[in-house]
Structure 1
C-alpha cells in the first residue's frame, strides 16, 4: 500500500509514494517497508526510538514532530499519532470491522466474566463469537495473549481481519477506560454496547488523574460510538450518567430493581468441591431458571448482562441458560476441583476492593475456615499492599502471603511490606515461593474449608526479573491435590 494512500484520511503534512508492507510502533520490529508510528505514552515516547527503527531498515515514520533522522527518512507529521493509528490501521487491514457485529463492554468490574460468557452463549447458539479482553484473544478456538485489556488499534484491526478470514462474524470486546482515552477503539463500529458498573479504580500516575476523568472516559463508549443498542445495569447508580446522550435502544438488567432482564430468587449452592449461584431470569413475561458456575450476587449480575447482550442478537434466555450451567470463566472465581470437602478458588482479585469483595462473597457460603493466598506485584505503590493486607486481615481466617509478579523488586521486600500492614492478631505466614505457598495451603485445607488463591487468576506466567516464567495456578493446585491424595 502506498504511504500517500495510507495517510489520506488523516490530517498531516509530508508525502511519499513509498510502498508500505507493515505498520509497527515497536522499533524492534521495524524493517524495510514498514511504517514506524511514534506513539507517545505515559512513560515512553516513541519518538526516542525512531533512530533505532531507522537502524533496523525503516525509512517511513509517522510523527507528532520532526525528529533527527537522515534525509532519506520520510516523516509524516500529524497532531496525534495514536488517533492517526486508529485510522490508518483500519485502512491497512481493509476496514474489517465494518463486516463484523461488534459488542463492546465497559465498567469497573465484570467485563471479563460478562464478555467470556457472552462469547460462549453466542457460539453455542450458532453465532460464532470471538473474544478480546483481559484473558487474551480467542478466535474460532485459537488463543493469543495480549499486553492490554483492549489492544492498540493496529492490533485490533489485525484481529478483526483474522476473524473474517476464520469465518467469524461476531466479536465481544472488553473496552477499558484507557482504550477509550487513548484512541484504541476510535472508529470501531460497535453495534451493541454494555455498562456493568462503576467504582473508583485506575486513578493515579499513568492512568486517570481523578474519578471524574475515569467516569467520563467510560461514558465515551455510549456517547460517541452510535451503537444501535445499549445494555445497562439498572442497579448501578452511575447508569443514568452513562445513558445520557445515547440515542439508540436501551435495555436494562438488574437484581435489586425492575429491569428488562430481571434476576430474582437468588440462591447460593455449594457441592463437595464447587460453589455457585442460581436465580430466575424474568424477561418479556417469561421466567427462565439460570445456574452460574461462580459465587456471589455479582456473578448473577454478570450473567444477566450476558443474557441481555445475547438477547440483542435474538438468543433466548433459555438458550443462554443451557450454556451458563456448564461454562466456567478462567481465572474469575474459577473453581478448581481437587480434594473432597474442600473448595479451591482461583481469582484475579489483585487490589483491595476486589479482594474484599471476593472474601466477603466466599464468607457468605459459611465455610469451616476461609483461607487466603495472595501477594502483590513489584514496583507498585504501597497503598495497594496495605489494602490487600487490610482485606485479608478482616475477612480471612488465615493468610499465606507470597509472591505475585515481583518483577525486578525482591519478592521478600514485597512480602515484608504486606506483612507490615496485617492487623494485629490476624494469623498469617509468609512463603516466598508461590508454588510452595500453594502446596502449603492445599495441605492445610480441612473439610468445609474454602481456599482463595488471589491475584494471578487467568495468568499463565510469573514475572520475575523481567522474565515471564511459566506458572499456571490451577495446574499447581491440581498437582498438590493429586500428591496429597496418594
Structure 2
C-alpha cells in the first residue's frame, strides 16, 4: 500500500526522515519485522518499543510509528503521532483491507465465563456448518486448528493479523473474548462487532482498574463502541441477573436480548436437573419451549450455554437445530472439567480465580459429591491482593484445603499463602509453596468417593515464576499422574 495514502488519513502528524514509498505490514514486535513493515514503538507496562527501533531497522523496517522522535539512519522515516495505538489500528485496517467486515464478529466480555461462552459459540458455529474462529484465553483457533496467543485479547496489530489470517481461511464467524484490559488499552479499536455479550461483573483486576466502578464502566466500552449507525444490524446480549446490565443497556441504541435464571429474561431455564455428567432443562424462548440436554455442569454453565444459543439464534439458525447440536458438545477445556470418570475419586479442574467463580464452582460440585471436597487453591502473584482473604473464606467451604501459589512471578510465595490463610474459617487445611506437591498432598489425602478440585489454572500449560519465566506445568496432567499411581491404573508408568 502507498505510504502517502496511509498518512493522508491523519490530520495531525509530524514526519522525520524519509518515509518509504510503500508498506505492506505493521507490528509492535521487532522480531516480526521484515522489508515493508511499519514498526510501532509503543511504550508498554514492562517494555518500551522505543528501545527496539534499531533492531526493527536492522530487520528491514523503513518506517517507525511513535509518539516520540529520535535520530534515524538515512533512508528511514519516523511518523510522530499523538496516539500510536489508535493510528496503528487505523493503519492495520487499511493494510489488511478491513478483514473483519466479511465475518460475523461476536465479542464476549465479563469477569467470568468469557472463555466458556466463546468456546461454546465457536463449537456451535462449526456444528452449524460455519467456518469459525475463536480467540481468547485458550489461544487462537480456526476451526479445529489451534495457534498460540499471548493475551486474552491481543494488542491491536496482532489482533488485526488474526482477523486477516481467519479471512484467508474463509472464516465466517469470529468469536473473541474481550478483556477489560484490552478495552482500556484500546486493543479493540476499529473492530466492528455484530453481536456483543455480557456475562457478569464481579471483583477482579482492581490492581489495574482500582475501583469496581472503573472496572464496570471499562467493560461498558464494548457496548458504547458498537456505534450509532442503525442501518447496521447489531445485537446486545445481557445477563438479566447482573445489575450492570441495566447500565450497559443505556450505552447502546441496538436491540437488547436478555438471559437469566428467572422468567424476567427473554431466555430462561426451568426444570433443571443435573449431575457431574451434565444437565437437562427446559429453555423458554421467544420462539417457544425447548428441552435441552447439555454436557455442562452447574447453573452458571446453563447461563453460559444460553448465551451461545442466543448468539446462534441471532445469526438466523433454527433453535431446534442449535439445541440438537448441543448433545454432541464436549466440556470446555479446563472449565469445570472432570478429568477421568474411571478413577475412584473425582478430579476436577477449573480456571476459577475470582471470589464469584470459586464460590460458584464449589456450590456446583457440592450436591454431586458423596465424600469429602478437597480444594487446591493458590493466590496469583502480582495481582489484586484485596480478594485474597475472601478467596480463603470461600475455599473454606471445602472440607479440606491445600493453600499454594498460582503464577507467583516475582512475589514472595509465602506472602501469597499467608494472605489467603488469613481468610480461612476452619483449621482443616495445609500449605505448600510448590504447586505440584500441593496437588500430590490433595490426592494422597483423598479417599474413594472424594472430590479433588484444582482451582485457578484450568489447563494453563505453565507457571509464571521469578523474572516472569514460564515453567511448564499442567494441573491436569500432574493430578492424573499422581492419581493413576495411587490407584495402580493399568498401563501406568512411573
1:38 aligns with 2:45: no
Q: Structure 2: how far apart are the matches of 1:10 and 1:261?
A: 45
Deviation at 1:387, TM superposition (A): 3.2
Q: Cα distance 1:245–1:117, how it changes in 2: closer, same or farther (>3 A)?
A: same
| Candidates 240, 245, 248, aligned match of 1:242 | 248
Aligned to 2:216: 215
Aligned to 1:298: 300
CA-based RMSD of the aligned residues comes to 2.5
1:7 aligns with 2:7: yes
Kept in 1, the 8 Å contact 2:202–2:356? The answer is no
Kept in 1, the 8 Å contact 2:109–2:177? The answer is yes
Kept in 1, the 8 Å contact 2:349–2:476? The answer is yes
Q: Structure 1: how far apart are the matches of 2:186 and 2:382?
A: 27
Which structure 2 residues correspond to residues 18-33 of structure 1 after superposition, within 5 A? 18-30=21-33, 33=36
Which piece of structure 1 moves more, 237-246 or 376-385?
376-385
Deviation at 1:485, TM superposition (A): 3.1
Deviation at 1:28, TM superposition (A): 4.3
1:125 aligns with 2:128: yes
Deviation at 1:299, TM superposition (A): 0.9
Which piece of structure 1 moves more, 371-380 or 303-312?
371-380
1:397-438, Cα deviation, whole Å (9 max, x unpaired) = 11112342233445455445544x253642122333333332
1:249-298, Cα deviation, whole Å (9 max, x unpaired) = 322222123332221122222xxxx3443211112353222233333211
Aligned to 1:102: 105
Q: Secondary structure at the match of 1:311?
A: helix
1:406 aligns with 2:408: yes
Deviation at 1:134, TM superposition (A): 1.4
Deviation at 1:31, TM superposition (A): 5.4
Q: Structure 2: how far apart are the matches of 1:260 and 1:384?
A: 33
Q: Structure 2: how far apart are the matches of 1:251 and 1:351?
A: 27
Kept in 1, the 8 Å contact 2:99–2:167? The answer is yes
Deviation at 1:37, TM superposition (A): 0.8
Which structure 2 residues correspond to residues 56-67 of structure 1 after superposition, within 5 A? 58-67=61-70
Aligned to 2:143: 140
Aligned to 2:492: none
Kept in 1, the 8 Å contact 2:273–2:281? The answer is yes
Structure 1 residues not aligned, in runs of 5+: none
Q: Structure 2: how far apart are the matches of 1:213 and 1:402?
A: 30
Kept in 2, the 8 Å contact 1:338–1:477? The answer is no
Which piece of structure 1 moves more, 142-151 or 52-61?
52-61
Aligned to 1:154: 157
Q: TM-score, normalised by structure 1?
A: 0.90
Q: Secondary structure at the match of 1:426?
A: coil
1:285-334, Cα deviation, whole Å (9 max, x unpaired) = 53222233333211111111111111111223333333333321111111
Aligned to 1:85: 88
1:2-54, Cα deviation, whole Å (9 max, x unpaired) = 43333332342327234334322124444554322122334544334435544
Q: Cα distance 1:384–1:199, how it changes in 2: closer, same or farther (>3 A)?
A: closer
Deviation at 1:56, TM superposition (A): 5.4
| Candidates 274, 280, 301, aligned match of 1:268 | 274
1:482 aligns with 2:488: no
Q: Cα distance 1:99–1:391, how it changes in 2: closer, same or farther (>3 A)?
A: same
Q: Secondary structure at the match of 1:320?
A: helix
Deviation at 1:70, TM superposition (A): 4.7
Q: Cα distance 1:424–1:299, how it changes in 2: closer, same or farther (>3 A)?
A: closer
Kept in 2, the 8 Å contact 1:281–1:317? The answer is no
1:355 aligns with 2:358: yes
1:233 aligns with 2:234: no
Q: TM-score, normalised by structure 2?
A: 0.89
Q: Secondary structure at the match of 2:14?
A: coil
Kept in 1, the 8 Å contact 2:27–2:158? The answer is no
**Aligned residue pairs, count:** 478
Q: Cα distance 1:47–1:26, how it changes in 2: closer, same or farther (>3 A)?
A: same
Q: Cα distance 1:234–1:379, how it changes in 2: closer, same or farther (>3 A)?
A: closer
1:64-100, Cα deviation, whole Å (9 max, x unpaired) = 1323545654110111111111111122222211111
Q: Cα distance 1:103–1:366, how it changes in 2: closer, same or farther (>3 A)?
A: same
Deviation at 1:340, TM superposition (A): 4.2
Aligned to 1:468: 470
Deviation at 1:199, TM superposition (A): 2.6
Structure 2 residues not aligned, in runs of 5+: 228-232, 489-494
Q: Structure 1: how far apart are the matches of 2:165 and 2:367?
A: 44
